[in-house]
Amino acid sequence: MRITRRRRARLSSLALAAAALALVAGPATASVAAPKDLVPYGQLDCRSGPIEPGVYISILVIGNCWLTDFGTVQINGDFRVAHDAKFNGATNGTMIVDGNFYGGTNSIITLGCNVKSVGPPCMTNTPDVIDGFAYVDNALEVSMHSVTVHGDYLMIGEKDYSNNVDCSQLDLTGTPDYFTFEDGSVGGKFTYLGNHTCWMGLFRSHIKGTVSVSANLTNTTIPGIAFDSPEIASNVIGGKLSCFNNFPPPTFGDSHGKPNIAKMGKTGQCKKL
């Protein structure tokens, strides 16, 4: 089940109902150059509020921060979301990271807009770019749409650090925290490893290297979510699609997506996807 604007209300009500019962009992694109008239800034430690359009040396999010609904944020170095911090980049604004993208334990991260898969407030498909790699460990949520990552995309979890398999922890939209990468591209390898989350997806993306989905746990108890994840469909993969030791096993779910194209073959639990 893809978590889109059409699904958010139903998924949220199911998750809240489950919590109450428990208490009782989307081809690679080129980098987009930032406008030359952007305001130059230095390093930014964002504790709260919007990140204004402009050019930054680096940005560290240590509270609850977001992109504005217009303009471009260009970062000449790295972008980091600290432990327990929140970053909302699912706006009509654009982010270009010349360095790497990092996220820490219990962080909640969204980046990129896509009109079809996200919907309002997204009014355009934003050309967000990460020139380096994206590495996030033990996050509660990483949701990216229409994002180009030129390096590797690595979402790594460890048992008991960040766990939302029961779907009880919600983001600012009222949707259970989850992982998805949709309508984007990755120039290196793509990895989902050891994440314990409500739901997980990979759709309509171009991955140049190998896709590895292993040892992830997603929900098996809530009607409408259970056993419908990880959903992997309609991707074009230059290397192998390898899936092992996921519970439940990867599926097309109800995405109505097309079989994945993996030029080096499909193995393990994804052999028939």
- Asked whether residue 34 is assigned to any structural domain, the reply reads yes
Q: Where are the alpha helices (DSSP H) in the chain?
A: 8-24
- Asked whether residue 1 is assigned to any structural domain, the reply reads no
- Asked whether residue 3 is assigned to any structural domain, the reply reads no
Pairing of strands 86-89, 153-156: unpaired
User: C-alpha dihedral over 120, 126, 132, 135, to 10 degrees?
Assistant: 10
- Asked whether residue 221 is assigned to any structural domain, the reply reads yes
Distance, in Å, from the CA atom of 66 to the CA atom of 145, rounded to the nearest integer, reads 16
* Residue 142 · residue 101 · CB < 8 Å: no
- Asked whether residue 273 is assigned to any structural domain, the reply reads no
Per-residue confidence (pLDDT) for residue 8, from 0 to 100: 45
Asked whether the predicted pLDDT for residue 228 surpasses 50, the reply is: yes
Query: What average pLDDT is seen over the chain?
Result: 88
* Count of structural domains, the chain: 1
The domain of 25 spans 8-268
Segment 185-227, tens digit of pLDDT: 999 999 999 999 999 999 999 999 999 999 999 999 999 899 9
